[in-house]
Amino acid sequence: MYQKYTVDDVKKSSARKLFNVISTFAGGGGSSTGYRLAGGNIIAINEFVEEAIKTYSTNFPDTKIIPGDIKKLTAKDFLDTAGLKSGELDILDGSPPCSAFSVAGKREKGWAGYVTDTRKSYFDDDGNIVEDGDVEVQEGIKKYSDGKTVEAIEDLFLEFIRIAKEIKPKVIVAENVKGITFGEAKGKLYEFVNSFEKIGYQVTYQVLNAADFGVPQARERTLFVCVRDDVCDALNLNFLNIHSTVFPNITHHKHISLREAIEDIENDPNELKDLYDYVQNGFQKDWITKLPFNPTRHTKPSDKEFREWNPKASCFNMIRPCPDLPCPTLTQRGQQKSVSGVFHFAENRKFTIKELKRIMSLPEDFVLTGTFDQQAERIGRMVCPPVTKALSESIYTNVLKPYNDRHNS
């Protein structure tokens, strides 16, 4: 059964202050919500997109926010804001985006440039960022729905590690797409693992499916967990047992279906009309209306059975989902009005914001600011709160609590 909850529930759980967290690339607060549900105290966050900051501060107005580009910030900025010394922080969280992780080298919508950067970025033995090689063309530029852009986006993961090196948290949690674990992108994965190790951490990673933790969405993401060397030594953690120690067990072997999650929602009639009208007046009508309602599997216009009217297998990103399965992955672009994405299973429209919140397992009264597209983007970029909750509960129980109990006794 889908579990509803509120922002007040989140704040009450966070009031336990079992462990503290600084979150970078915090977005609208998806991962922060999960840490709070696990009893975590978010003492400071960093985000540079103004609309994301508005969303975050609307829901969690008491959280200290460090605005701006992480490249222009120092560890001291974070520590001073949090009121901590180096080494005292429990968890440093971050989900740095990286252009190199797109599958099969495909150019993604939302990029003004394409990455053919031949530089190799890494940490040397002293923990300094080193870049060898030349830039053949301009690095990719990531666009956000409010017009903000990020240049040299591949460097952001290393900027995150640069901050971690000085903050020296007991545990680092980093999230990225599943695609980093295979193909050419796996070289970047090993690079990041080596970089974490060079700054004094034991590293493990795993692809987690949000549907395994009660989210009505089959959203797979790679989670890195890095435990500081001295913490590992104190708890007898090593490469043989760290993985089984930090990662949580599956909480929902029976997945929650899309229908079960959203069937009782009362939507705003004006929002429904706007979403219907957008489809009727654009290119989407010619494609989505040919897909059957309530399919028994997730269906696309590019599927083989539709080749008679779609011989080129176009619109492979448009999906009519099966209502009896978890929703396919929501993306930051896909749920905006003007592009292909996941549509409603029984209506010719995109999901409403209320429905998107349920599919991402956000609090019922979680407020998203900005236009429809900005709200949809915020949701599509989030880490599902139940995933962060389960992971941080495991980290607290098996690492932070026993270490802090020994250290403080």
| 265, two tokens | 């929602």
Q: Report which of residues 67 and 185 the model is more confident about.
A: 67
Average pLDDT over residues 125-152: 48
pLDDT at 306: 96
CA distance 302 to 299: 8
pLDDT surpasses 60 at 105: no
Average pLDDT over residues 345-356: 98
CB 201 within 8 A of CB 226: yes
pLDDT tens column, 296-344: 999 999 999 999 999 999 999 999 999 999 999 999 999 999 999 999 9
In this prediction, what percent of the chain has a pLDDT beyond 90? 80
CB 27 within 8 A of CB 45: no
pLDDT tens column, 367-400: 999 999 999 999 999 999 999 999 999 999 999 9
pLDDT surpasses 60 at 116: no
DSSP E strands: which ranges in 71-170? 91-94, 120-123, 129-132, 141-143, 149-151
**pLDDT bucket at 112, cuts 50 / 70 / 90:** very low
pLDDT tens column, 152-164: 555 798 999 999 9
pLDDT at 119: 36
pLDDT surpasses 50 at 252: yes
For the four alpha carbons of 301, 307, 311 and 313, in that order, the dihedral sign comes to positive
Inter-helix orientation angle 385-395/30-37, to 10° = 50
Q: Report which of residues 117 and 13 the model is more confident about.
A: 13
**pLDDT bucket at 150, cuts 50 / 70 / 90:** low
Three-state DSSP state, 103: helix
**pLDDT bucket at 128, cuts 50 / 70 / 90:** very low
In this prediction, what percent of the chain has a pLDDT beyond 70? 86
CA distance 78 to 159: 13
For the four alpha carbons of 182, 28, 17 and 361, in that order, the dihedral sign comes to negative
Three-state DSSP state, 376: helix
pLDDT surpasses 70 at 362: yes
pLDDT at 337: 96
pLDDT tens column, 161-189: 999 999 999 999 999 889 888 888 888 89
The gap from C-alpha 165 to its chain's centroid, in whole angstroms, comes to 22
pLDDT surpasses 90 at 202: yes
Query: Is 7-252+385-408 a domain of CATH 3.40.190.10?
Result: no
pLDDT surpasses 60 at 114: no
Least confident of 15-24, 122-131, 140-149: 122-131
